[in-house]
Amino acid sequence: MTDRYTVISADCHAGADLLDYRPYLEKRYHDEFDVWAATYVNPYEDLVADTADKNWNSERRLAELEADGIVAEVVFPNTVPPFFPSGSLMAPAPTAEDFERRWAGLRAHNRWIADFCAAAPGRRAGVFQILLNDVEEAVKEVRWAAEAGLKGGVLLPGTPPGSGLPELYSSAYDPLWAVCAELGVPVNHHAGSASPPLGDEPAARAVFMVETTWFSHRALWHLVFGGAFRRHPELKLVLTEQGSGWIPGVLEMLDYYHGRLVAAATKATTAESKFGAGLAARMGDAPSQVWRDNCFVGASFMRPHEVPLRDRIGVDKIMWGSDYPHDEGTYPYTREGLRHAYARVPRDEVAAMIGGNAARVYGFDLDLLDPIAAKVGPTVEEIAEPLEQPPADATSPVFAKGASVRVW
Question: Per-domain residue ranges for the chain?
Answer: 7-404
Give dist(CA 353, CA 10) in Å, integer.
10
Contact 156, 188 (CB under 8 A): yes
Q: Do 330 and 398 meet the contact criterion of CB atoms below 8 Å apart?
A: yes
Specify the range with the lowest mean pLDDT, choosing from 40-54, 165-179, 262-276: 262-276
Asked whether the CA dihedral 133, 87, 361, 254 is positive or negative, the reply is negative
Least confident residue range of 57-61, 126-130, 393-397: 393-397
Dump pLDDT digits (tens) for 61-116. 999 999 999 999 999 999 999 999 887 665 567 788 899 999 999 999 999 999 99
pLDDT tens digits, residue range 371-386? 999 999 999 999 999 9
* pLDDT, position 6: 98
pLDDT, tens digit (0-9, with 9 covering 90-100), for 317-357: 999 999 999 999 999 999 999 999 999 999 999 999 999 99
Say whether pLDDT at 406 is over 50. Answer: no
Q: Report the mean per-residue pLDDT for the chain.
A: 93
Q: What is the DSSP letter of 45?
A: G
Residue 279 pLDDT more than 90?
no
Closest by Cα among 122, 145, 137 to 175: 137
CA distance 169 to 281: 15
The runs of H, that is alpha helices, within 49-134 are 58-67, 96-118
For residue 209, what are the contacts with CB-CB under 8 A and spacing of at least 6? none
pLDDT of residue 89: 64
Q: pTM for the full model?
A: 0.95
**Architecture category of domain 7-404 in CATH:** Alpha-Beta Barrel (3.20)
Question: 17 in helix, strand or coil?
Answer: coil
Half-sphere exposure of 298 (CA within 13 A, CB side): 33
Do residues 62 and 22 touch, judged by C-beta distance below 8 A?
Answer: no
Neighbours of 272 (CB within 10 A): 12
**What is the pLDDT, as a whole number, of residue 91?**
55
